[in-house]
Amino acid sequence: MFLPRLVKRSFGQSWCLQGVRWLLALLLFGVTAVAFAADFDAAVQSLNGENFTVKEASIGDVVDTGHERSSTVLESMLNGLLYYRKSDGRMVIVAPVEQGYQVQDAASGEDLGVLGKRKVRKIAINNALRTSLRNALARLSLSSTERDVRYAAVQEMLGTMNKDSRALLEDRLAMETDERVRDLLGTALALYKLDSQDRDVRLQAVQDLDGSIIPQVRNRLVGLLASENDAEINRVLKQVLGSIDARLQLYSLAETAFFGLSLGSVLLLAAIGLAITFGVMGVINMAHGELIMLGAYTTYLVQSALPGHVELSLLVAVPAAFMVSGAFGIAIERGVIRFLYGRPLETLLATFGISLILQQLVRSTISAQNVTVSNPNWMSGSLHINEAFSLTYNRIYILIFSLVVFFALLAILKKTSLGLQVRAVSQNRPMAKAMGIRSEWVDAMTFGLGSGIAGIAGVALSQLTNVGPNMGQSYIIDSFMVVVFGGVGNLWGTMVGAMSLGVANKILEPWSGAVLAKILVLVFIILFIQKRPRGLFPQQGRAAEH
Amino acid sequence: MLLAKLYQQDRGGSFLLMALLLAAVLVPVLNLWVPESSPLHLSTYTVTLLGKYLCYALLAMALDLVWGYCGILSLGHGAFFALGGYAMGMYLMRAIGDRGVYGNPELPDFMVFLSWQEVPWYWNGFDMFWFALLMVVLAPGILAFVFGWFAFRARVTGVYLSIMTQALTFALMLAFFRNEMGFGGNNGLTDFKDILGFDLQADSTRIGLFLVSVLVLALAYLACRYIINSKLGRVVVAIRDAEDRARFVGYKVESFKLWLFVFSAVLAGIAGALYVPQVGIINPGEFAPLNSIEMVIWVAVGGRGTLYGAAAGALLVNYGKTYFTAAFPEIWLFALGALFVLVTVFLPRGIIGLMRRGKDRQS
């Protein structure tokens, strides 16, 4: 709802500006685009005027042409990279290289090769010119057709408001149509008015700034509070600052919650397969982390096989990772674990051995180094809600993905016949067998399902973290903690456990640092398990007695 | 007379003690008095390596005491080992005095590097050897006591206990990696110079440490054997085989478990304290869960519930590790992983179990 509106507006606006440009070109000059370019060329050439007054006027001319290279030229001038060629006086932009300068034509951008240092001379500027250059650049970006460029330009000017920039912004405000840019323009002008000698103007400005959560505003207001003498203004200032702080606190709380849920979703993804193999079957699978790793490597291999199709490869990777990790899981179950049912400690050791083998397998066949898995475009960037609060897309998608996986798994266990058989076998194996359920087949399928889910988790995690042979190890302890904390044999417990541990971690983090937060959470779980050995949501009934 | 009785009752144990006696005589002779040119000469490197294996053997024995006889599979014994090691390391660190890189007589190098002004309070006393020895026993002992007191009273058993111990050592690893903890962070404690005034680099000191390790291992074996043969030991085995029954008969199961666990942790701490001066470094990597779980496989390979089997397993697996990681580094993890799988599936009683079965068949 939010997005289409923006698109429509900026589209309409650029169309409108295009029209203005056309009209200008037609009416005022009555010539074609060639003349327009020639005009720009002349303006650039005159930047090398004999004195600073001429140069200053030429800067205005360059801006007025509206040419796309105007800001490039002016920026080079500001940075002292605008030179002229001694042979013919052409204006050039230089970049220092070993043999002299790499030179390009200022007006056209055409590459003119490398010139000796003595063949060119710098265009001199002074402080007054620097100021007008900065203003000109600001004006250029303020009149950009891109909404975000304009917004950034105003943002840039917030801290350094003066009379010139004020005039500039007031002009802009008169023709600006975008709501967010207008708001920011208002904020910038109010900031300027805070310096006014007139008490009423200051008071009005403070009131205008109420509720603004831009960091510069808060800093300015705090500064004003120290220097302001007027009692009325001070009272309002305190009020305004109070409401700003309250809003900021709210947003930082929301941010902590989001980060916590995001971490929780990672934990959930890592633990959910384990909730099946450990929780439902009671098998301690120490190779679970490596099954996640296999899923991540499957993503990598699929991407290598489909170069250039990042989106598609990710779609292919999800089922592929499920198959790969699931197949490995079934092989582990059939090859090793089924000989060890009823001996959980031995299962733990054997699967740990398997985890070592899988790690070395990846190291030997693919690489001992981390591999890079690329993200699709729609996963990078962030959803910008306001100055104090933005959510990165990849975390949002992972959060959604983890919930989808969770509910899909829940549905499989509750609604399908496989799920029914799994639950029957886990609750009472002899009785299930007597009812004609092939319990061995169910064991293999259950283990394959849990392992396959681990593979899917690997696909998601490959988008967030490094993919390397050791990546599984960093999840295994956390995963077990989540399952044990949530209560063995209870998927909802795993979900609640993962989310609450994630949020707890992030609440502790600013106060104690990341590592200490993790330690505290671990210690908390260790103590919690002493109090409630069966976790948050213990299994009820006779099945729980094992 | 006594020895004959021991031999009658415990062949494996007496074999272990004989082997230790033999090593205690042969190793110093071959290292110090056989000239280097001779093929029989034992290099100081090998002596140190053997000393290291003995520390591992002691550690494995400590683990076997709780796992083999009481069914408590601890995946956190590396934590106790490392704590003992850190206590010894702190003494060795203070013994460096002003010979460190920064030449500060009071502060160890890493504290100077972090620009700390004075030694943190918990480093006080570590300049005295007896205090460090006390801490070698107390630090792991108290941790085991607190952990066990909670865990055993709440009747956390089996796999849950294993995972909890693993979380414990993982948490400690994270904590010791922090510079703020004041244990040297990532780099740990190293660059030791001497112990009780003896130069750690000297051959004679190495031999001395080796002999102490032999002695401690022998004494630890006898102590463990004494405990197992006592009435307490028989109760412990009963708890392993039928915990509920032992409880209903009237034994306070958690107290038995707790004291055995603490004793085992102390042994592990002593092993760590012997280990550190020989290898010359202790860092948070010793807390890694992987290390603790590797110890379990030493015990499993040797044969749990025998004590001497655990020691033999530790020697064997670590010799294999030294050999493989040098000769075929790629293969080592495959071999170790396969060892885990094969031993648990095919050799639940380890090599000792295999030998006993062979003997039973013969007779």
Query: Distance between CA B225 and CA A212 in Å, rounded?
Result: 75
Q: Is residue A95 part of a domain?
A: no
Single out the residue in A229, A264, A290 at which a domain terminates. A229
pLDDT for B362: 60
pLDDT for B1: 53
Q: Give the mutation candidate from B150, B345, B346, B349 for the A interface (greatest A CB count, under 10 A).
A: B345
Where would I find the H helices in A91-230?
127-142, 147-157, 163-175, 179-193, 199-208, 215-227
- Residues of chain B contacting A352 with CB distance shorter than 8 Å: 293, 340
- Between strands B194-195 and B198-199, the pairing is antiparallel
Cβ distance of B344 and A353 shorter than 8 Å: yes
Query: Distance between CA A249 and CA B161 in Å, rounded?
Result: 41
Query: Distance between CA A78 and CA A129 in Å, rounded?
Result: 8
Domain parsing of chain B, residue ranges: 15-362
Residue A402 shares a structural domain with residue A482: yes
Distance in Å from the first CA to the final CA of chain A: 53
Q: Which of A79, A86, A118 is nearest to A101 (CA)?
A: A118
* Cβ-contact A105, A29 below 8 angstroms: no
Which range among A43-52, B38-47, B159-168, B194-203 shows the weakest confidence by mean pLDDT?
A43-52
Closest chain A residue to the Cα of B154, Cα to Cα:
A530
pTM, 2 dp: 0.78
Query: Distance between CA B347 and CA A361 in Å, rounded?
Result: 24
What are the phi and psi torsion angles at A467 (to 5°)?
A: -105, 115
pLDDT for A18: 58
pLDDT for B246: 93
Q: Which of A372, A251, A352 is nearest to A304 (CA)?
A: A372
Residue A438 shares a structural domain with residue A535: yes
Q: Is residue A438 part of a domain?
A: yes
Residue A509 shares a structural domain with residue A425: yes
Residue A402 shares a structural domain with residue A279: yes
Residue with tokens 């042409």: A65
DSSP B12-57: HHHHHHHHHHHHHHHHHIIIIIS-TTSTT---HHHHHHHHHHHHHH
Query: Distance between CA A215 and CA A312 in Å, rounded?
Result: 41
- Range with top average pLDDT, A401-410, A461-470, B91-100, B185-194: A401-410
Residue A467 above 70 pLDDT?
A: yes
For residue A125, the SS3 value is coil
| Residue B122 vs residues B90, B96, B114, B195, B265: alpha-carbon distances, Å | 10, 18, 17, 20, 21
A527 touches chain B (CB under 8 A): yes
**CA angle at B255 for the pair B249 and B260, rounded to the nearest 5°:** 115
Stated as kind and residue range, the H or E segment containing A113 is strand A111-115
pLDDT for A7: 40
Residue A257 shares a structural domain with residue A225: no
Q: Is residue A378 part of a domain?
A: no
* Cβ-contact A318, A455 below 8 angstroms: no
Residue A223 shares a structural domain with residue A78: no
Query: Distance between CA B165 and CA A430 in Å, rounded?
Result: 33
- Residues of chain B contacting A519 with CB distance shorter than 8 Å: 171, 174-175
Residue A151 shares a structural domain with residue A50: no
**Residue A8: CB atoms within 10 Å:** 10
- Confidence band for A426, pLDDT divided at 50, 70 and 90: confident
Residue A188 shares a structural domain with residue A283: no
Strand partners, B354: none
Query: Distance between CA B5 and CA A484 in Å, rounded?
Result: 49
**Residue B360: CB atoms within 10 Å:** 8
Q: Give the mutation candidate from B73, B159, B181, B291 for the A interface (greatest A CB count, under 10 A).
A: B159
Residue type at A186?
A: G
pLDDT for A218: 82
Q: Is residue A316 part of a domain?
A: yes
Write out the E strands in A295-406: 382-386, 389-392
For residue A197, the SS3 value is coil
Residue with tokens 């002009």: A171
Q: Is residue A107 part of a domain?
A: no
**CA angle at A539 for the pair A533 and A545, rounded to the nearest 5°:** 75
Single out the residue in A94, A127, A160 at which a domain terminates. A127
The structure tokens listed for B201 are: 């680099």
Length of chain A: 546
For chain A, how many structural domains are there in total? 3
Query: Distance between CA A52 and CA A42 in Å, rounded?
Result: 17
Where would I find the H helices in A416-438?
417-427, 429-434
For residues A204 and A455, the model is more confident at A455
A364 touches chain B (CB under 8 A): yes
Chain-wide mean pLDDT for chain B?
90
- For CA atoms B86, B92, B95, B98, the dihedral sign is negative
Residue A221 shares a structural domain with residue A293: no
pLDDT in tens, B327-340: 888 888 898 899 88
- Confidence band for A39, pLDDT divided at 50, 70 and 90: confident
- For CA atoms A150, A156, A158, A164, the dihedral sign is negative
Q: Is residue A110 part of a domain?
A: no
Residue A53 shares a structural domain with residue A156: no
Backbone dihedral region for residue B244 (phi beyond 0: left; psi -120 to 50: alpha; all else: beta): alpha
pLDDT in tens, B156-167: 888 888 888 999
A531 touches chain B (CB under 8 A): yes
Residue B344 has its nearest CB partner, among A350, A515, A530, at A350
| Residue A454 vs residues A95, A318, A475: alpha-carbon distances, Å | 52, 11, 11
**Residue A41: CB atoms within 10 Å:** 18
Query: What percent of chain A is predicted at pLDDT more than 90?
Result: 24
pLDDT in tens, A252-311: 889 889 999 999 999 999 899 888 888 778 788 899 999 999 999 999 999 999 888 888
* Cβ-contact A266, A398 below 8 angstroms: yes
Q: Is residue A100 part of a domain?
A: no
Closest chain A residue to the Cα of B74, Cα to Cα:
A345
B146 touches chain A (CB under 8 A): no
Residue A210 shares a structural domain with residue A256: no
Q: What letter would DSSP give residue B65?
A: H
Cβ distance of B339 and A353 shorter than 8 Å: yes
Residue B344 has its nearest CB partner, among A346, A477, A533, at A346
**Residue A166: CB atoms within 10 Å:** 16
* Cβ-contact A382, A393 below 8 angstroms: yes
- Confidence band for A12, pLDDT divided at 50, 70 and 90: very low
Range of the structural domain that residue A165 is part of: 143-229
To the nearest whole angstrom, how far is the Cα of B247 from the nearest Cα of chain A?
17
**Residue pairs spanning A and B at CB distance below 8 A:** 118
A519 touches chain B (CB under 8 A): yes
pLDDT for A275: 87
Within 307-346 of B, beta carbons closer than 8 Å to A belong to: 330, 333-334, 336-341, 343-345
Query: Distance between CA B165 and CA B254 in Å, rounded?
Result: 17
Residue A511 shares a structural domain with residue A433: yes
Residue B13 above 90 pLDDT?
A: no
Residue A546 above 70 pLDDT?
A: no
Contacts of B14 (CB under 8 A, 6+ apart): B3, B6, B7
Query: Distance between CA B221 and CA A380 in Å, rounded?
Result: 60
- Average pLDDT of span B261-266: 97
The structure tokens listed for A395 are: 């975390």
Residue B212 above 60 pLDDT?
A: yes
pLDDT for B271: 97
